[in-house]
Structure 1
Amino acid sequence: MADVPSDGRNPLTRLTPDELRQRTSAKWRTHPADVLPLWVAELDVPLAAPVAAALRRAIDLGDTGYPHGTGYAEALGDFAARRWGWHDFRVAHTSIVPDVMMGIVELLRLVTDPGDAVVVCSPVYPPFYAFVSHAGRQVIEAPLGADLRMDHAALDEAFRRARACGPRPAFLLCNPHNPTGVVHRRDELAAVAELAARHGLRVISDEIHAPLVLPGAHFTPYLTVPGAEDAFALTSASKAWNLAGLKAALAVAGPQAVADLHRMPEEVGHGPSHLGVLAHTTAFRAGEQWLDLLLTGLDANRTLLATLLAEHLPTVGYHRPEGTYLAWLDCTGLGVPTDEPADGPGVVTDLAGPAKMFLDRARVALSSGHVFGTGGTGFVRLNFGTSPAILTEAVTRMGRAARPSTGG
């Protein structure tokens, strides 16, 4: 399917708040109607026209059976070659999975044993903790450095500890990183591969945000760096094209990991929906023009957020994200008590500290930093994948909420 011509408009400005409140998914229904939701990773955009057309055609034809064929992997391979220069992508080295996190769990079951350690770079996507723990593996943290990039010494120590815990440890890489928006450089990823080989860890790279690299950075697929031949990557179109409700993802194996991937149980491939496969395939095959408009809008919002924070929340630290539509905000300067729940990281709906304050006082929903693990206390994650008007109103409210009350 050829790319559908676009009218050149920013997808983030297409829907009004009233239209968004008609949605029934988590972002706009978890909180009351007076709350501006900038928390969970859903975009405030309409579907890309090619994706919507593909879904309408399938519905009109009653094409709602079982997924078939390798079109999804072929579309991803072509996209990866065009956008990232990944020219040796192999369709035969892929397997369809229900979504990225379920794919991660299935791969962990293939290459680790119950009780083995899985290293993560905290603060990191909360389901890394929950899914790994529920799979019977233990999490070991390698905290990010002060610059929010991977810390080589911390990784070395965490890999050593992981190897001491059991014979088959793994490293769960977030590439690009959620919640910081850091896009790992090729040299950083090559260093990860060298460390993993030295300590005997298998690497699984979550690359769900790969299409969302903003101007000034370049995405490097982990499987393209030297030493990553026995690793895996997982991705989908769900974050970039807002398709989380249409389940389908791909696991990709390095050349030395293909035999492991082929051991994945057949029933795992029954989880993705046919409509999901059609939507993700079309996004990668025909959705680039829409994606480029989105990236332009996100780049503008990234700059707008910096301006708004400087005006309304000058004590809040903001590291300009290189990718994703997520901003990791250091609110420790606000002096808000953290009062963290005792459950620890992983429960994405838990609120504490600044996130709870902003919800209660500003009626703005953000993700609470403590659920992202060590290094998250006192931080919030803000989703700027919304309209400039909503973003402006949200940060303005947050600024008012953070100002000390003068009493009466």
Structure 2
Amino acid sequence: MKWRTYPEDVLPLWVAEMDVPLAGPVVRAVTDALRLGDTGYPAGTAYAQALAAFAGKRWGWSGLAVERTAIVPDVMLGVVEMIKLVTGPGDPVVVNPPVYPPFFMFVEHMDRRVAEAPLGADGRLDFGVLEETFRKAVAGGRRAAYLLCNPHNPTGTVHTAEELSAVAGLAERYGVRVVADEIHAPLVLGDAGFVPYLSVPGAERGLSLMSASKGWNLPGLKAALAIAGPGAAADLDRLPEEVGHGPSHVAVIAHTAALRDGLAWLDALLAGLDTNRWLLADLLAEHLPAIRYRPGDATYLAWLDCRALGLGDDPADVFLERGRVALSSGLPFGTGGAGHARLNLATSKEVLARPCAEWRRRCAECGRTLVHCPPWTTGRWTNSARESTC
């Protein structure tokens, strides 16, 4: 999808796919399965056992109980099923915009109502807003759920243990059920530490969705795990049997191998992503200082505040048409998305720097620097001629 959606002259830095060679253990596990003809239906708990072992090594969390897990087709379909277990039609689901656009689409498609509790100006949870949203959500005795993005997409914010404990306290006080999308959990960079929602005090009635999909670039191999806290085991037991028919057996094999044997590969990936986030910060500071970018502590996504460029609510559209670079528009991310764009930095340093190199060359034609003459602001772009003039 990443490289085929746009014409060949567009540099795609949008959808969440990484430009990486796959981890050797994953390739071997899938190849061995195919050689054996092992392409039937999934069964067993190997995936959950691998995730539990990974959680213990990586996050120091020993509370992932294999018996309180279920295989689901992918994280978002798992989110849908978890929300169905704890809410009914018309009930509100609280989200923290700007946030992953499918949160809105999937919630509304299942006949639930989105209730926004926007992030604060610092990109972190605003607990005053969150509490007020919870209070309104349950008014009149309605059931409500809170769809928590941990780590947060698109900002890369990693919620702290203190913040998650505060979430659990509010959720218990108001009777809101927490469903945590933790698909980016393996992708925490630098010294930041990931805290599983179900590991904090008070989160016993929570539900979580995890997967190796984002960490090891396996989105085309569909499989994820739903995990219940001790107080939500009965809810997970009500998951319809047919939900477990959706995951791919080969995907389960791949995800299991990644979690069990792919840690060295993951460490190398994280080092490269850490380098890229600071490279992007340097490139923007040098060439487009009007764009505000705060490197996140997780994910391989960069949330760019482009409002100072004066490109309107959808700068990604301008970048695509005039710069031939595809980013994700900020508008579908909800409140706080206007004037923003999301960039995928999980690529080579050469690809990441290519737009700046191209813009620098074109602006050199008129003798002005990129800072004064980016093609999408003061310059004029002609697609057929592939040049800009001031």
| Structure 1 unaligned spans of 5+ | 1-25, 339-352
> What do residues 253-273 of structure 1 show as CA deviations (whole Å, max 9, x unaligned)?
000000100100000001000
Q: TM-score, normalised by structure 2?
A: 0.93
| Matched residue, 2:153 | 178
1:88-237 equivalent positions in 2, closer than 5 A: 88-164=63-139, 167-237=142-212
Q: Please give the alpha-carbon distance, in whole angstroms, between the structure 2 residues aligned to 1:165 and 1:207.
A: 31
Contact preservation (8 Å) 1:117, 1:165 = no
Counterpart of 2:375, as a letter, is A
Could you say what secondary structure the match of 2:275 adopts?
A: helix
> What do residues 360-395 of structure 1 show as CA deviations (whole Å, max 9, x unaligned)?
111110000011000000000000000000000134
Q: Please give the alpha-carbon distance, in whole angstroms, between the structure 2 residues aligned to 1:300 and 1:163.
A: 44
1:47-58 equivalent positions in 2, closer than 5 A: 47-58=22-33
Deviation for aligned residue 1:164: 1.7
Aligned length: 369
Deviation for aligned residue 1:312: 1.2
> What do residues 178-229 of structure 1 show as CA deviations (whole Å, max 9, x unaligned)?
0000000010000101111111100000000000000121000000001100
Deviation for aligned residue 1:69: 0.7
Contact preservation (8 Å) 1:362, 1:397 = no
| Matched residue, 2:386 | none
Q: Please give the alpha-carbon distance, in whole angstroms, between the structure 1 residues aligned to 2:343 and 2:194.
A: 22
Could you say what secondary structure the match of 1:27 adopts?
A: coil
Root mean square deviation of aligned Cα = 1.2
| Matched residue, 1:285 | 260
Moved more, 387-396 or 204-213: 387-396
| Matched residue, 1:72 | 47
**Aligned CA distance change for structure 1 residues 201 and 305 (closer, same or farther; 3 Å):** same
Does residue 335 of the first structure (1) align with residue 310 of the second (2)?
yes
Q: Please give the alpha-carbon distance, in whole angstroms, between the structure 1 residues aligned to 2:358 and 2:168.
A: 44
Q: Please give the alpha-carbon distance, in whole angstroms, between the structure 2 residues aligned to 1:208 and 1:109.
A: 19
**Aligned CA distance change for structure 1 residues 90 and 367 (closer, same or farther; 3 Å):** same
Q: What percentage of residue pairs aligned between the two structures are identical?
A: 62
Q: Please give the alpha-carbon distance, in whole angstroms, between the structure 2 residues aligned to 1:157 and 1:375.
A: 19
| Matched residue, 2:328 | 367
Q: Please give the alpha-carbon distance, in whole angstroms, between the structure 1 residues aligned to 2:173 and 2:376.
A: 48
| Matched residue, 1:20 | none
Deviation for aligned residue 1:311: 1.0
Q: Please give the alpha-carbon distance, in whole angstroms, between the structure 1 residues aligned to 2:50 and 2:124.
A: 31
> What do residues 111-164 of structure 1 show as CA deviations (whole Å, max 9, x unaligned)?
000000000000000000000000000000000001000001110111111112
1:37 to 6, 12, 16: 12
Could you say what secondary structure the match of 1:140 adopts?
A: strand
Q: Please give the alpha-carbon distance, in whole angstroms, between the structure 2 residues aligned to 1:297 and 1:74.
A: 28
Q: Please give the alpha-carbon distance, in whole angstroms, between the structure 2 residues aligned to 1:165 and 1:51.
A: 50
| Matched residue, 2:236 | 261
| Matched residue, 2:384 | none
| Matched residue, 2:60 | 85
Deviation for aligned residue 1:401: 2.7
Does residue 392 of the first structure (1) align with residue 367 of the second (2)?
no
Counterpart of 1:394, as a letter, is P
Deviation for aligned residue 1:337: 2.2
Could you say what secondary structure the match of 2:35 adopts?
A: helix
Q: Please give the alpha-carbon distance, in whole angstroms, between the structure 1 residues aligned to 2:77 and 2:358.
A: 37
| Matched residue, 1:357 | 318
Could you say what secondary structure the match of 2:231 adopts?
A: coil
Q: Please give the alpha-carbon distance, in whole angstroms, between the structure 2 residues aligned to 1:161 and 1:359.
A: 40
| Matched residue, 2:366 | none
Moved more, 156-165 or 101-110: 156-165
Q: Please give the alpha-carbon distance, in whole angstroms, between the structure 1 residues aligned to 2:357 and 2:294.
A: 19
Deviation for aligned residue 1:396: 4.6
1:300 to 271, 275, 279: 275
Q: Please give the alpha-carbon distance, in whole angstroms, between the structure 2 residues aligned to 1:401 and 1:288.
A: 42
| Matched residue, 1:8 | none
Counterpart of 2:248, as a letter, is S
Q: Please give the alpha-carbon distance, in whole angstroms, between the structure 2 residues aligned to 1:401 and 1:211.
A: 37
Q: Please give the alpha-carbon distance, in whole angstroms, between the structure 2 residues aligned to 1:44 and 1:394.
A: 17
